[in-house]
Structures are given as structure tokens and as C-alpha cells.
Amino acid sequence: MAMSTAKNSKIVVTSEVEHLQKECDNFRDDMAYLKSQSTRNNLIFTDVPDVDGETPEVTETKLREHKAM
């Protein structure tokens, strides 16, 4: 009886570990996806002069003109 209980406990623990490993893999996949989504629109523009007090509209116009070059 004790052997059977130990074997069943081992099966339950193994099953739970496998479940947790799959859940961990899913969290890693989700984290990688969220990270890629958060960084995909981060654009870097160079050679565009920075002006103090510039409005977002003016900056957007400059970037559009820079892009057209």
C-alpha cells in the first residue's frame, strides 16, 4: 500500500511539474511577444536638430521632411 501511494504521489508531482513547465514556457512566450510589441514602434531619427520648446506638431513636420529626403 505504501509503495502504491508513493508511486501515485510521484505521478501527481511529475504531472504538476510538467504543467508548471508548460505554464512557464507560455509566460516566456507572452513576455517575448509583449517586449517585441513595446519596442517595434521605437524609431530613432538622426541629423534632426533638437530645439528647446518645440511643439510636437513642429517636430512631426521636421520628421516628415527628413523622411522625404
- Tell me: the pLDDT tens digits for 7-54? 888 888 999 999 999 999 999 999 999 999 888 878 787 777 778 999
Distance CA 61, CA 12 (A): 63
Q: List the grid coordinates of 68.
A: 522625404
For residue 21, the model assigns a pLDDT of 97
In whole angstroms, give the CA distance from residue 25 to residue 35: 15
Distance of alpha carbon 48 from alpha carbon 37, whole angstroms: 26
**pLDDT score recorded for residue 1:** 52
What are the boundaries of each domain within the chain?
2-68
